[in-house]
């Protein structure tokens, strides 16, 4: 064991939330350490969602992380909603004067990891046996580093940015957690395919065979998803069946799905979850460690980044006054947006996915709802405002 080191903030988890927080704190003159069990390569090659709100893009650019998103990302001024064989464009620019960016989470992560390395940030990948003690009074983070050396770091504040299976969340006694969740009778089968894009923007398709989403990655690689059941056996989905289903679910209107070679497939179960206890003593939880959303609204990463923006404002003030109760402001402010995003993601999910028991009333209700959205500017603006992100 080496002698205990000191950092002002100890962050568990080097995903986009943990790294962005470390970066923002550094910009505000506060030092931190970030520890992560996975390797940089492992995080960089995991497929995650791909849509950034304009606010997330400005955070990357204006806070000096990188402007690569402006060069390699693609600005999307709208999406298409497809149902009953017809496409309906929701024009974000016209409706709410906003846009989103297609820029995969792996790229956000790579930009942040590069920026932390460039700015001399202390980020330790491939650590093991992470433990936090005394988070109510005088937190100590310990871990075994990639060289097998046990390390100990004393810190004023510990932040759990360690994802939906968070170790840090477990530090809060179950009796003090305020947890809310709901589950859904569906999941997504996601694929990556070598193929050209089928359309300039994302397509969210409702059909009587279930939901499909046609997204993109690059001019030669596409990302697509289709609704399956949560206990789906991926072995039942040979490539031909996936294409057949994607084509059928998006058919009509002369639309032609461009197919190709599938290079990866996996099933993503989803649920909605919020733990409103985002602060416990000197421990704070951010991003997926505190809440998850189903991927239909593309809100997960965006929400993690807005959590971090609030924290980067609250932590320096709490440290300056020495009053840890000031940390309560974090949850108060963050939960407003979290519940808006939970509501939006739930609504998009329930509007677009086929109920597995084939409820005929529900299918017609969904068409009524989709018609309310696409046949009125006010209806469309409701979706556009939420999708592009509410003002901060």
The count of C-alpha atoms lying within 13 angstroms of the C-alpha of 180, restricted to the half-sphere facing its C-beta, is 10
184 is catalytic: no
Interface region with ligand PHB, contact rule CB under 6 A, candidates 30-38, 47-55, 256-264, 323-331: 47-55
**Residue 186 annotated among the catalytic residues of the structure:** no
3-state secondary structure of 244: helix
Q: Which is nearer to ligand PHB, 259 or 296 (CB)?
A: 296
C-alpha distances in Å from residue 38, one per residue of 50, 112, 153, 198: 21, 16, 19, 35
Name beta bridge partners: 79: 90
Element containing residue 35 per DSSP (H, E)? strand 32-35
Q: 66 or 216: whose CB is closer to ligand PHB?
A: 216
- Contact set for ligand PHB, span 157-216 (CB under 6 A): 202, 213, 215
Among 50, 73, 160, 389, binds ligand PHB (CB under 6 A): 50
Query: Residue count at the site for ligand PHB (CB under 6 A)?
Result: 10
Asked if residue 296 binds ligand PHB (CB under 6 A), the reply is yes
Instruction: For residue 386, state whether it binds ligand PHB (rule: CB under 6 A).
Output: no
Q: How far is Cα 98 from Cα 272, in angstroms, rounded to an integer? A: 26
- Nearest distance, CB of residue 378 and ligand PHB, angstroms: 23
Answer for which of 12, 20, 43, 49 binds ligand PHB (CB under 6 A) is 49
Decide: 193 and 69 in contact? Cβ < 8 Å.
Answer: no
Strand order in the sheet with 212-216: 86-91, 78-83, 203-205, 212-216, 221-228, 179-194, 261-275, 291-292
Ordered DSSP codes for 286-348: -GGGTEE--GGG--HHHHHHHHHHHHHHHHHHHHHHT-GGGGHHHHHHHHHHHHHHHHHHHHH
Q: Is 230 a catalytic residue?
A: no
Paired tokens of 129: 């046996």
As measured in angstroms, the least distance from the Cβ of 175 to ligand PHB is 35
Which position among 139, 299, 330, 353 bears the catalytic label? 299
Q: 295 catalytic, yes or no?
A: yes
The reply to whether 382 belongs to the active site is no
Selected binder of ligand PHB within 23, 206, 223, 337 (CB under 6 A): 223
- Candidates 62-70, 233-241, 294-302, 351-359: pick the segment binding ligand PHB (CB under 6 A): 294-302
Nearer to ligand PHB, 13 or 300 (CB): 300
Q: How far apart are CA 80 and CA 203, in angstroms?
A: 5
Distance CA 34, CA 296 (A): 30
Q: Decide: is 366 part of the binding site for ligand PHB (CB under 6 A).
A: no
Dist CA 237 CA 232 (whole Å) = 9
- Output 130 or 303, the one with its CB closest to ligand PHB: 303
186, 204, 330, 382: the catalytic one is 204
Residues of this chain that bind ligand PHB (CB under 6 A): 49-51, 202, 213, 215, 223, 295-296, 298
What are the residue numbers of the active site?
A: 76, 204, 295, 299, 387
């Amino acid at each position: 064991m080496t002698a205990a080191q000191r950092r002002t903030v100890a962050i568990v988890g080097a995903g986009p939330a943990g790294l962005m927080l470390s970066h923002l704190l550094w910009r505000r003159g506060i030092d931190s350490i970030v520890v992560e069990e996975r390797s940089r390569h492992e995080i960089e090659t995991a497929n995650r969602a791909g849509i950034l709100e304009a606010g997330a893009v400005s955070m990357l650019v204006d806070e000096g992380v990188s402007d690569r998103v402006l060069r390699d990302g693609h600005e999307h001024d709208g999406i298409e909603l497809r149902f009953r064989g017809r496409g309906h464009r929701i024009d974000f620019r016209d409706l709410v004067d906003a846009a989103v960016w297609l820029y995969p989470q792996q790229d956000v992560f790579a930009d942040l990891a590069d920026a932390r390395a460039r700015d001399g940030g202390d980020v330790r990948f491939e650590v093991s046996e992470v433990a936090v003690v005394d988070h109510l009074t005088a937190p100590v983070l310990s871990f075994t580093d990639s060289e097998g050396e046990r390390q100990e770091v004393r810190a004023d504040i510990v932040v759990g940015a360690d994802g939906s299976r968070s170790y840090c969340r477990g530090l809060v006694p179950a009796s003090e957690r305020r947890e809310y969740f709901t589950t859904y009778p569906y999941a997504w089968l996601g694929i990556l395919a070598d193929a050209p894009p089928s359309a300039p923007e994302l397509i969210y398709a409702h059909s009587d065979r279930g939901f499909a989403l046609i997204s993109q990655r690059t001019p030669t690689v596409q990302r697509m998803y289709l609704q399956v059941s949560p206990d789906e056996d991926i072995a039942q989905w040979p490539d031909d069946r996936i294409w057949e289903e994607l084509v059928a679910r998006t058919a009509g209107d002369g639309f032609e799905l461009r197919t190709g070679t599938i290079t990866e497939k996996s099933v993503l179960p989803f649920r909605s979850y919020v733990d409103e206890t985002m602060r416990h003593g000197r421990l704070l939880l951010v991003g997926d460690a505190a809440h998850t959303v189903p991927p239909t609204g593309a809100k997960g990463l965006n929400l993690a980044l807005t959590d971090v923006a609030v924290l980067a404002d609250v932590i320096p003030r709490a440290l300056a006054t020495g009053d840890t109760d000031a940390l309560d402001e974090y949850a108060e402010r963050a939960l407003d947006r979290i519940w808006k995003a939970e509501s939006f993601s739930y609504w998009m999910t329930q509007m677009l996915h086929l109920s597995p028991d084939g409820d005929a009333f529900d299918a017609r209700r969904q068409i009524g709802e989709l018609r309310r959205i696409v046949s009125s500017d006010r209806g469309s603006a409701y979706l556009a405002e939420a999708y592009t992100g509410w003002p901060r």
